[in-house]
């Protein structure tokens, strides 16, 4: 029985009602949900709670999963998506794997066939828990209506604490329809005997070790990842970096954790990072690795990465320490807590003279800036720079698909705040950008939300244009259309002597026009295939093509000024490469100096 100070409800409710009310008790106000036979009771319950929870119907379950991520990645809160059993549940798998690799707190609720027929190959039956076991942080199948409040509470607790991640709740239809008798306690005791997350603080001796290492260093570098954003440590990081004068290199997940316009910013490091960030890390005598996992796209050959210096590695997940790279000072702790202690303990005497180090970095920045050749055509790097110029004074959220446009977005858009950049980084899922932006817009209705996408990625979840229109979500889509799978084309050019193997997205009998140098097409099929403007208009979304560079700034301004969703189809050449590029098995220095 519930105690007097606990929330109770004596109304007769079914299991679906109890679950929806439990979501509301967790502060959920938006759910992305696609219905089906095994989840119909859940949707009826959502309708009954429409005044407290906005239910948004995506046009594909994967889109709903990525939209939920859009909420979590920009707010830090646990988000919710739902699907029915069988194909509905399996359509969520990619979004859950994506959330697991990028440490995004999502609770996914899937309908399941009634317990009496589980294991009988019933219609739309899939062993969802087994399918998702390795790609979720935790998973449940609810077998008793009395467990619903506890399971929901535990799912949210597990998703958001420690290293965040996705949690699955599989919900059989008979439990959804079962009736609850008696009072309901929505704050029951949890039963997680093997899960003991805590806000871990670094030991005082560890803080002293880090400060002592900094005092002795001549060439320190901060290497910062998504863990800094997840721990809400950006303010403390910025304070520490500026106080000590330490240059900051960020991973793809870490962009925005330190202001990209700050002179100390080295921007992104790694395969497609800046030359100067890779040089700085290679020459550093002290690498402060904060909330990172030494990913292969950052390190190249692990034994060659940052081999000249001492490594301090701070991470909330103890399993990351020494996993890929041995650390001289491993610290299993919450990064925000570590930075707070560093800021409190560091003194003027602890800050080394870094004048020569700054001069060296300034020289690298001068010699190896991010750059591209000017063109009469609209090349993607220019388009993204122009987007940044026109939006840098606004609090803009940018989501991206996966491919060349993703890397150019990371390189040429400067993020000065955390949680403004959304990228499928660990899994690299094409089709991420549009639905992720959709979720951001739902969570931040008054903000400017832009999806920088490629034509290949766009087609993966193009159906979500319907969601934008029907839900009145004014997402702006900058579509960089080169009619190819650009990143794979780039690898073909580098490693396959330019041999094309199914990376051209136009009609199979279409002849490419290469003589005019722009990489676009002029034949009987016309310039645009598919015609994204017609597609967008068919969904009720405003759109236009732009190919003339002189028209681009005006066309972009028109898109940004639109009060509803808008797609700008930018025809780009396909020959552009993202630079620098470090293939697997090479070091940063190999590629920069070859």
- State the Cα–Cα distance between residues 527 and 547, nearest whole angstrom: 10
- Give pLDDT, residue 527: 61
The verdict on 218 and 307 lying in the same domain is yes
**Is residue 576 included in any domain, yes or no?**
no
CA–CA separation, 554 vs 546, rounded Å?
10
Residue 459 has a pLDDT of 97
61 tagged catalytic: yes
- DSSP structure class, residue 484: B
pLDDT of the residue at 11: 66
Q: Assign residue 27 the CATH number of its domain.
A: 3.40.50.970
Q: Is residue 584 part of a domain?
A: no
How far is Cα 214 from Cα 15, in angstroms, rounded to an integer? Answer: 57
Asked whether residue 406 falls in the same domain as residue 354, the answer is: no
The reply to whether 65 and 169 lie within a common domain is yes
Per-residue pLDDT, 199: 76
Say which of 487, 490, 575, 576 is annotated catalytic. Answer: 487
Find the domain containing 443 and state its range: 380-571
Q: Could you state, in chain order, the average pLDDT of each consecutive group of 10 residues for the chain (594 residues)?
A: 41 94 98 98 98 98 98 98 98 98 98 97 96 98 98 98 97 98 96 88 94 97 97 98 98 98 97 94 97 92 89 95 95 96 97 98 96 93 98 97 97 98 97 98 98 97 98 98 93 90 80 43 57 97 96 98 98 90 50 44
Instruction: Please give, one letter per residue, the 3-state secondary structure of 178-201.
Output: CECCCCCCCCCCCCCCCCCCCCCC
Does one domain contain both 390 and 273?
no
Q: Please tell me whether residue 258 adopts helix, strand or coil conformation.
A: coil
Distance of CA 83 to the CA centre of its chain: 21
Which of 307, 332, 367 represents a domain boundary (last residue)?
Answer: 367
pTM of the model: 0.93
Cα 299 from Cα 273, distance rounded (Å)? 11
Question: Is 542 one of the annotated active-site residues of the chain?
Answer: no
Q: Is 586 left (phi over 0), alpha (psi -120 to 50) or beta?
A: beta
Instruction: Please pick, among 61, 125, 320, 386, the residue that the annotation labels catalytic.
Output: 61
Straight-line distance from the first to the last Cα atom of the chain, in angstroms, rounded to the nearest whole number: 72
319 plus 426 within the same structural domain: no
Confirm whether 187 is domain-assigned. Answer: no
Q: Which of 153, 173, 325, 365 is catalytic?
A: 173
What the block records as the tokens of 174 is 């008979």
Of 6, 7, 123, 496, catalytic: 123
Q: Which two tokens stand for residue 348?
A: 């003027």
Looking at the fold, whether 211 and 338 belong to one and the same domain comes out as yes
Same domain, 34 and 161: yes
Please name which of 444, 591, 395, 425 lies closest in space to residue 72, comparing C-alpha atoms.
444
Q: Is residue 165 in some structural domain?
A: yes
Residue 9 is assigned to a structural domain of this protein: no
Cα separation, 428 vs 493, in Å, equals 21
Structure tokens belonging to residue 296: 């292969």
- Specify whether 211 is located in the same domain as 105: no
Q: Residue 8 has what pLDDT?
A: 44
254: CATH: 3.40.50.1220
CB-based contacts of 143, cutoff 8 Å, min separation 6: 115, 172, 175
Please say if 173 is a catalytic residue: yes
Q: Do residues 359 and 410 both lie within one domain?
A: no
Strand 138-141 with 167-172, pairing: parallel
Whether residue 190 lies inside any domain: the answer is: no
Domain boundary residue, one of 367, 399, 420: 367
Total domain count for the chain? Answer: 3
Q: Measured between alpha carbons, how far is residue 213 from residues 139, 205, 218, 239 in Å?
A: 42, 12, 10, 19
Tell me, yes or no, whether 404 and 541 share the same domain: yes
Catalytic residue, from 44, 115, 124, 360: name it: 124
Residue 284 counted as domain residue: yes
| Whether residue 123 lies in the annotated active site | yes
**Is 470 domain-assigned?**
yes
The predicted pLDDT at position 523 comes to 42
């Amino acid at each position: 029985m519930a105690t007097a100070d606990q929330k109770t409800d004596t109304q007769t409710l079914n299991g679906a009602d109890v679950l929806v009310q439990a979501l509301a008790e967790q502060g959920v106000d938006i759910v992305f949900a696609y219905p089906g036979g095994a989840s119909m009771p859940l949707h009826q319950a959502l309708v009954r709670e429409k005044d407290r929870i906005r239910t948004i119907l995506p046009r594909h379950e994967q889109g709903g999963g990525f939209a939920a991520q859009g909420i979590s990645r920009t707010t830090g809160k646990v988000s919710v998506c739902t699907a029915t059993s069988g194909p509905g549940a399996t359509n969520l798998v990619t979004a859950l794997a994506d959330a697991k690799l990028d440490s995004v707190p999502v609770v996914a609720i899937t309908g399941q066939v009634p317990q009496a027929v589980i294991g009988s190959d019933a219609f739309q039956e899939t062993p969802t828990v087994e399918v998702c076991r390795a790609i979720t942080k935790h998973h449940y199948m609810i077998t008793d209506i009395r467990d619903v409040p506890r399971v929901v509470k535990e799912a949210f607790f597990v998703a958001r604490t420690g290293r965040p991640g996705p949690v699955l709740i599989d919900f059989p239809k008979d439990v959804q329809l079962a009736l609850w008798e008696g009072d309901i306690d929505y704050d029951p005791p949890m039963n997680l005997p093997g899960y003991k997350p805590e806000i871990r603080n670094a030991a005082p001796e560890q803080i002293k070790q880090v400060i002592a290492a900094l005092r002795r260093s001549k060439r320190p570098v901060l290497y910062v990842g998504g863990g800094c954003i997840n721990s809400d440590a950006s303010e403390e990081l910025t304070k520490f970096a500026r106080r000590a004068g330490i240059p900051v290199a960020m991973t793809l997940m870490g962009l925005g954790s330190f202001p990209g316009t700050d002179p100390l910013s080295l921007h992104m490091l790694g395969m497609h990072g800046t030359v100067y960030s890779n040089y700085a890390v290679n020459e550093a005598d002290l690498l402060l690795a904060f909330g990172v996992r030494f990913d292969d796209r950052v390190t190249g050959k692990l034994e060659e990465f940052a081999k000249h210096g001492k490594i301090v590695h701070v991470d909330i997940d103890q399993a990351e320490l020494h996993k890929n790279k041995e650390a001289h000072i491993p610290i299993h702790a919450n990064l925000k807590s570590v930075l707070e202690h560093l800021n409190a303990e560091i003194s003027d005497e602890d800050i080394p003279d870094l004048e020569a180090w700054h001069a060296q970095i300034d020289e690298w920045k001068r010699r190896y800036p991010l750059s591209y050749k000017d063109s009469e055509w609209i090349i993607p790097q220019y388009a993204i720079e122009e987007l940044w110029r026109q939006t840098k004074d606004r609090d803009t959220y940018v989501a991206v698909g996966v491919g060349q446009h993703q890397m150019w977005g990371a390189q040429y858009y400067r993020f000065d705040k955390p949680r403004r950049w959304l990228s499928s980084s660990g899994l690299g899922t094409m089709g991420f950008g549009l639905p992720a932006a959709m979720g951001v817009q739902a969570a931040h209705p008054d903000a400017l939300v832009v999806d920088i996408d490629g034509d290949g990625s766009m087609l993966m979840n193009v159906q979500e244009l319907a969601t934008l229109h029907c839900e009145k979500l004014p997402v702006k889509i900058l579509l960089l259309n080169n009619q190819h799978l650009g990143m794979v084309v780039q690898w073909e050019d580098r490693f396959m002597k330019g041999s094309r193997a199914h990376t051209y997205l136009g009609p199979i009998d279409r002849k490419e026009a290469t003589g005019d140098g722009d990489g676009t097409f002029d034949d009987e099929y016309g310039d645009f295939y598919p015609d994204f403007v017609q597609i967008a208009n068919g969904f009720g979304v405003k759109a236009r093509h732009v190919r003339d560079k002189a028209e681009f700034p005006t066309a972009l301004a028109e898109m940004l000024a639109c009060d509803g969703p808008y797609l700008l189809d930018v025809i780009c050449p396909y020959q552009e490469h993202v630079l620098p590029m470090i293939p697997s098995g090479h070091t940063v220095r190999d590629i920069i100096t070859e």
